[in-house]
A and B are shown apart, each in its own frame.
Chain A
Amino acid sequence: MAKTDLFEAPDYYNIDDLLTDEQKLVRDSARAWLKKEVSPIIEEYYEKAEFPKQIIKGLGEIGAFGPYIPEEYGGAGLDQISYGLLMQELERVDSGVRSTASVQSSLVMFPIWKYGSEEQKKKFLPKLATGEFMGCFGLTEPDHGSNPGGMTTNIKDKGDHYLLNGAKMWISNAPFADVAVVWAKNEEDRIKGVLVEKGMKGFTAPEMHGKWSLRASTTGELLFDNVKIPKENILPGRDGLGAPLSCLDSARYGISWGAIGAAMDCYDSALRYSKQRMQFDKPIAAFQLTQKKLAEMITEITKAQLLAWRLGSLKNEGRATTAQVSMAKRNNIEIAMNIAREARQIHGAMGITNEYPMMRHMMNLESVVTYEGTHDIHLLITGMDITDIPAFS
Chain B
Amino acid sequence: MKFLVCISKVPDTTSKIGFTDNNSKFNEAGVQFIVNPYDEWYALVRALELKEANGGSVTIITVGEQSDEPVMRKALAIGADEAVRINAKSDDSFFIAKQIAEYAKNNSFDVVLCGKETINFNSAQVPATIAELLDMPLVSLATKLDINGNTATLERDVQGGSEVVEVQTPFVLSAAKGMAEQRIPNMKGIMMARSKPLNVVEPVSVEAHTEILSYELPSGKTECKYVEADKMDELIELLHNEAKVI
Question: Which residues of A approach B to under 8 Å, CB–CB?
Answer: 8, 11, 14, 16, 21-22, 24-26, 29, 32-33, 36, 61-63, 67, 71, 76-77
Q: What residues on A are CB-neighbors of B184 within 8 Å?
A: 29, 32-33, 36, 62
Would you call A21 and B69 a contact (CB within 8 A)?
yes
Interface residue B186 (Cβ < 8 Å from any Cβ of A):
yes
Q: What residues on B are CB-neighbors of A16 within 8 Å?
A: 32
Would you call A25 and B74 a contact (CB within 8 A)?
yes
Contact of B194 among A22, A61, A63, A67 (CB under 8 A): A22
Q: Mark interface residues in B68-101 (1 if CB within 8 Å of A CB, else 0).
A: 0110011001000000000000000000000000
Would you call B14 and A62 a contact (CB within 8 A)?
no
Docked complex Cα distance between A77 and B191 (Å): 9
Given A14-B30, A29-B185, A61-B186 in contact, is the A71-B70 Cβ separation under 8 Å? Answer: no
Given A22-B194, A25-B70 in contact, is the A61-B187 Cβ separation under 8 Å? Answer: yes
Residue of B nearest to A65 (CB): B187
Would you call A21 and B73 a contact (CB within 8 A)?
yes
Would you call B69 and A76 a contact (CB within 8 A)?
no
Would you call B188 and A61 a contact (CB within 8 A)?
yes
Would you call A29 and B77 a contact (CB within 8 A)?
yes
Question: Which residues of B approach A to under 8 Å, CB–CB?
Answer: 14, 30, 32, 69-70, 73-74, 77, 184-188, 190-191, 194
Q: What residues on A are CB-neighbors of B74 within 8 Å?
A: 25
Would you call A62 and B187 a contact (CB within 8 A)?
yes
Docked complex Cα distance between A26 and B73 (Å): 11
Contact of B190 among A8, A14, A29, A36 (CB under 8 A): A29
Q: What residues on A are CB-neighbors of B186 within 8 Å?
A: 29, 33, 61-63
> Can you name 23 A-B pairs with beta carbons within 8 Å?
A14-B30, A21-B70, A21-B73, A22-B73, A22-B190, A22-B194, A25-B74, A25-B77, A25-B190, A26-B190, A29-B77, A29-B184, A32-B184, A33-B184, A33-B186, A36-B184, A61-B187, A62-B184, A62-B186, A63-B186, A63-B187, A63-B190, A77-B191
Max chain A C-beta neighbours (<10 A), residue from B32, B73, B185: B185
Docked complex Cα distance between A32 and B70 (Å): 17
Would you call B187 and A76 a contact (CB within 8 A)?
yes
Max chain A C-beta neighbours (<10 A), residue from B32, B186, B187, B191: B187
A125 to chain B, nearest CB (A): 15
Q: What residues on B are CB-neighbors of A11 within 8 Å?
A: 30
A22 to chain B, nearest CB (A): 7
Knowing that A25-B73, A25-B77, A67-B187 touch, tell me 11 more A-B residue pairs with CB under 8 angstroms.
A21-B70, A22-B73, A22-B194, A25-B185, A25-B190, A26-B190, A29-B77, A61-B187, A61-B188, A63-B186, A76-B187
Residue of A nearest to B185 (CB): A29
A324 to chain B, nearest CB (A): 28
Would you call A8 and B185 a contact (CB within 8 A)?
no
Docked complex Cα distance between A63 and B32 (Å): 23
Given A8-B14, A14-B30, A16-B32 in contact, is the A26-B69 Cβ separation under 8 Å? Answer: no
Q: What residues on B are CB-neighbors of A77 within 8 Å?
A: 191
Q: What residues on B are CB-neighbors of A36 within 8 Å?
A: 184
Q: What residues on A are CB-neighbors of B32 within 8 Å?
A: 16
Docked complex Cα distance between A62 and B73 (Å): 16
Contact of A24 among B14, B69, B70, B191 (CB under 8 A): B70
Q: What residues on A are CB-neighbors of B14 within 8 Å?
A: 8
Residue of A nearest to B70 (CB): A21
Docked complex Cα distance between A8 and B32 (Å): 12
Docked complex Cα distance between A61 and B189 (Å): 9
Docked complex Cα distance between A25 and B35 (Å): 12
Q: What residues on B are CB-neighbors of A71 within 8 Å?
A: 191
Docked complex Cα distance between A77 and B184 (Å): 20
Would you call A76 and B191 a contact (CB within 8 A)?
yes
Docked complex Cα distance between A22 and B73 (Å): 9
Given A21-B73, A32-B184, A33-B184 in contact, is the A76-B190 Cβ separation under 8 Å? Answer: yes
A52 to chain B, nearest CB (A): 18
9 closest A-B pairs by CB: A63-B187, A21-B70, A61-B186, A29-B185, A32-B184, A33-B184, A76-B187, A8-B14, A29-B184
Q: What residues on B are CB-neighbors of A76 within 8 Å?
A: 187, 190-191
Docked complex Cα distance between A241 and B221 (Å): 62
Docked complex Cα distance between A36 and B41 (Å): 15
B32 to chain A, nearest CB (A): 7
A135 to chain B, nearest CB (A): 18
Q: What residues on A are CB-neighbors of B187 within 8 Å?
A: 26, 29, 61-63, 67, 76
A348 to chain B, nearest CB (A): 24
Q: What residues on B are CB-neighbors of A29 within 8 Å?
A: 77, 184-187, 190
Residue of A nearest to B34 (CB): A28
A110 to chain B, nearest CB (A): 17
Docked complex Cα distance between A71 and B187 (Å): 11
Q: What residues on A are CB-neighbors of B70 within 8 Å?
A: 21, 24-25
Docked complex Cα distance between A292 and B32 (Å): 27
Docked complex Cα distance between A32 and B186 (Å): 11
Docked complex Cα distance between A67 and B30 (Å): 28
Q: What residues on A are CB-neighbors of B191 within 8 Å?
A: 71, 76-77
Q: What residues on A are CB-neighbors of B77 within 8 Å?
A: 25, 29
Docked complex Cα distance between A22 and B184 (Å): 14
Q: What residues on B are CB-neighbors of A63 within 8 Å?
A: 186-187, 190
Docked complex Cα distance between A26 and B190 (Å): 7
Residue of B nearest to A129 (CB): B187
Docked complex Cα distance between A21 and B73 (Å): 9
Q: What residues on A are CB-neighbors of B188 within 8 Å?
A: 61
Q: What residues on A are CB-neighbors of B190 within 8 Å?
A: 22, 25-26, 29, 63, 76
Docked complex Cα distance between A26 and B74 (Å): 10
